[in-house]
């Protein structure tokens, strides 16, 4: 596949084409505004490596937003946004994925001042294995509800009678006995107060220091202000007995509703308020004509009956292979399994470091692993490693990857 890759100077230079391509990607974490906010908070110590990608003749079809930084003893290339982002890919339309990945392979292969490329939060539908001649490893829940023009009643009709009864009965009970009402943040004057509520309720539900979300409060406050201005922010507050009791934080972008975080008063667990608030946000997305509702990483147990798209990877972890011919300079040229050699000690140390930086926030079901293709003893080039967002059949846990 013929592809032309051009280096760009800074984020501002790419803003116009980036915004257009992000719309085609339908991914809020691929927006220029998300990247700019991330860079302002976490860009210290990062070396920007930004590229555009186009066919041999034509306009850019992808932005490749990379940065280089130190990860332990190694110089790591990663996609801008790592940490708080739930999906990290080149910025492009679905139809241009293969061309974008060909450009990514060419871009990272053209640089020689890095030791490891970390691909994180890459949807399973992206052909990353072929593009980088590597094997992604790691499973992580990332379900979605494909709405497809159906009504809320249509969606409920596809579920069991018991589930339909719970959806309607729990909400009616809260309205009747506690005066439940929902409020969507729409004013910049109210945003700061409602973000305070979100973080307070999140900590109340999960416990102080249990997740990284409160530690990233400054970043999320800044991006929420941008998202509100752009019309992307969805910040719902559920009030019972005339006081805030739960909050839901997410984004509405390019026809997709994305559920990012939540919090609720643990004293109201028996009322299933989290379940009711979640169903309210889905119903609103359906009624407003969204095409898809993404639950994003992890998952509460009550997500299961609602989401429809659940591709999953085969069980087991494949043995690492050397990078193939399509990935010259990325850790070997042989497509056969290669013996482990002493240079891999750094990679194993990196894997250990990455594991230490991955914090469980719910149950012990977390499965996340780092694969480093194993070059032969005669090869000393950089390595390729991939975290892939694959789908578990029954997600009952969530994790936060700590930057």
- What gap in Å lies between CA 44 and CA 105, rounded to an integer? 26
The fold for domain 144-303 equals: Aminopeptidase (3.40.630)
Q: Beta-carbon neighbour count of residue 39 at 10 Å?
A: 18
- What gap in Å lies between CA 318 and CA 265, rounded to an integer? 43
Name the average pLDDT for the chain.
79
- What gap in Å lies between CA 399 and CA 295, rounded to an integer? 13
- What gap in Å lies between CA 398 and CA 159, rounded to an integer? 24
Whole-number pLDDT of residue 132: 84
Tell me the pLDDT tens digit for each residue of 22-33: 999 999 999 999
**Which residues have a Cβ under 8 Å from the Cβ of 311 and sit 6 or more positions away?**
124, 125, 390, 391
- Whether residue 347 has pLDDT greater than 80: no
- The CB-side HSE value for 16 (13 A sphere, CA atoms) comes to 3
Whole-number pLDDT of residue 145: 95
- What gap in Å lies between CA 362 and CA 399, rounded to an integer? 7
From the CA atom positions of the chain, what is the Rg in Å?
22
Tell me the pLDDT tens digit for each residue of 188-206: 999 999 999 999 999 999 9
Structure-model confidence comparison of residues 312 and 48, the more confident one: 48
In this structure, are residues 132 and 103 in contact, taking their beta carbons and an 8 Å threshold? no
* pTM exceeds cut of 0.75: yes
pLDDT band for 260, please (50, 70, 90 cuts): very high
Q: Percent of the chain scored above 70 by pLDDT?
A: 72
pLDDT band for 58, please (50, 70, 90 cuts): confident
Tell me the pLDDT tens digit for each residue of 100-114: 999 999 999 999 999
Whole-number pLDDT of residue 94: 94
**Which residues have a Cβ under 8 Å from the Cβ of 178 and sit 6 or more positions away?**
240, 241, 271
Tell me the pLDDT tens digit for each residue of 274-328: 999 999 999 999 999 999 999 987 644 444 566 544 332 222 222 222 222 222 2
Instruction: Show the tokens assigned to 387.
Output: 């975290």
So where are the chain's domains? 3-141+311-401, 144-303
């Amino acid at each position: 596949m013929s592809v032309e890759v051009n280096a760009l100077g800074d984020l501002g230079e790419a803003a116009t084409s980036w915004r257009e391509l992000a719309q085609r990607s339908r991914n809020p974490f691929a927006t220029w505004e998300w990247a700019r906010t991330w860079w302002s908070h976490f860009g210290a110590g990062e070396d920007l490596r930004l590229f555009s990608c186009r066919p041999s003749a034509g306009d850019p079809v992808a932005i490749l937003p990379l940065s280089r930084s130190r990860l332990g003893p190694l110089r790591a290339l990663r996609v801008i946004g790592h940490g708080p982002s739930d999906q990290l890919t080149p910025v492009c339309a679905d139809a241009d994925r293969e061309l974008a990945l060909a450009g990514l392979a060419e871009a990272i292969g053209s640089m020689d001042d890095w030791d490891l490329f970390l691909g994180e939060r890459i949807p399973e539908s992206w052909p990353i294995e072929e593009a980088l001649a590597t094997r992604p490893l790691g499973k992580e829940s990332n379900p979605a509800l494909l709405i497809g023009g159906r009504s809320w009643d249509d969606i409920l009709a596809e579920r069991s009678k018991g589930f339909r009864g719970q959806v309607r009965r729990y909400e009616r009970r809260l309205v009747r006995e506690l005066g439940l009402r929902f409020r969507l943040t729409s004013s910049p004057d109210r945003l700061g107060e409602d973000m305070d509520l979100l973080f307070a309720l999140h900590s109340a539900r999960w416990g102080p220091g249990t997740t990284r979300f409160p530690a990233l409060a400054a970043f999320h406050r800044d991006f929420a202000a941008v998202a509100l201005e752009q019309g992307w922010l969805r910040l719902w507050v559920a009030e019972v007995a005339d006081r805030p009791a739960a909050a839901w934080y997410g984004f509405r972008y390019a026809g997709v509703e994305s559920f990012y975080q939540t919090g609720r008063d643990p004293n109201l667990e028996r009322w299933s308020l989290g379940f009711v608030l979640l169903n309210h946000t889905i119903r609103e997305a359906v009624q407003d004509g969204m095409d898809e509702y993404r639950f994003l990483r992890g998952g509460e147990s009550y997500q299961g009956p609602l989401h429809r798209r659940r591709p999953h990877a085969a069980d087991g972890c494949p043995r690492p292979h050397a990078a193939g011919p399509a990935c010259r300079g990325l850790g070997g040229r042989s497509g056969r399994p290669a013996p482990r050699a002493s240079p891999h000690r750094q990679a194993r140390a990196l894997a250990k470091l990455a594991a230490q930086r991955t914090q469980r926030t719910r149950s012990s079901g977390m499965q996340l692993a780092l694969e480093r293709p194993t070059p032969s003893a005669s090869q000393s080039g950089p390595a390729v490693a991939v975290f892939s967002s694959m789908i578990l059949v029954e997600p009952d846990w969530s994790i936060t990857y700590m930057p």
